[in-house]
Structure 1
Amino acid sequence: MGEDVAGGLQPDDRVLLARLRAGDDLAYGDLYRRYAPAVRRFALSMPRPGIDVDDVVAEVFLRTLRAVRGGCGPRDAIRTYLFTVVRRVLGEWAAARRDEPMNADELGEHAPRQRDHQFVQAEGELLARAFHRLPARWREVLWRTEVEGHRPASLADQLGLTPNATAVLAHRARRGLREAYEEAAEVSGRRAAGCSRRG
């Protein structure tokens, strides 16, 4: 099923892509079942600094769906297209992780010892403020995955989603928390600077 040994598309893959482009949601499930194992194996073979492979697979198929529905995406060599998206996702996410704020523990290692308690408390307040600004659905999936330690796939039934959609939701929630945290930190920094000028 799918690609032949030479890497070309068999007719059923072309039909599948045509159905997907025409808005057939069942075609998306067929595409996922056919290629997700290969995409997962490929992602596992790549460097992934702290990045969950299930999140990568979910993002790859989501981007492919958007591209195809938008009139772009693969028309042949579907496996090559998916692998290219894996590389792109891993590159973007690895770069984002390098740019994201360090957590309180990491920051505490670099702060003077006498300021540890105040520093961690301030970071905790910023994080809490950012967390409470998120939509309820994002807060729920973040709490269940990051605090309680559940894998996104194990929460799918409870959230009324597919495992793939749950992984995508968890990734979006983490990205939303990071952005909300950065915004809260920026606001806090501006207030602190204002107080310094007035003081």
Structure 2
Amino acid sequence: MTGFHEVQFPLRLALGTSGGPVRRTDIVNLSNGRENRNARWRDSRRSYDAGSGIKSVADLYAVLEFFEARRGRLHGFRFRDPLDWKSCAPGAVVSAGDQQIGTGDGTTASFPLVKTYGDGGTGWVRRIAKPVAGTVQVSVDGVAVAPANYSVDAVAGMVTFVPGQIPATGSVVRAGFEFDVPVRFDTDRIEVDLSHFDAGRIPTIPLTEILP
């Protein structure tokens, strides 16, 4: 992922963030009253606004500094979605059995991290490109795999088994993890309103997801 900085937007500055997934669907109304629907995007794309209420001057400066270091919209960065940031439900604890990331064939050593939303034949599989280092747990056929038997690429979101530990044919590979969303600023301008002596606000800080 070019033009990307492996740094996280400060969590304390993201309080009050709004936003979520966005999809693009074309709807054509037919003469008989029915309609045709067509998905323009295969995957959804997250969009956020990290602007919030009154902040201290120190926090305002931290946003300004982070924005300048990214050169506005030029470089991407990591962002913690306040609702969807791990392989399980918000109130659950991450475990090695959370998400199926592949099926062994006896030769494939690397598996991309994914998260599935929904169930049955209607589920949508999301590629997870930015796992949080040190949080990934892996299991094969329900048995936890020792960390020494695999490596995790936290930049690309890949799990790679070491030689001699490659999953056998038909075995189910699962993983649990925390993750960030790769985003960029969706503006080249930050407006700071110093409405108080020692505090102020930035009304809007638009962010948009960078798809892998």
Q: TM-score, normalised by structure 2?
A: 0.18
Identify the structure with the greater helix proportion.
1
Identify the structure with the greater strand proportion.
2
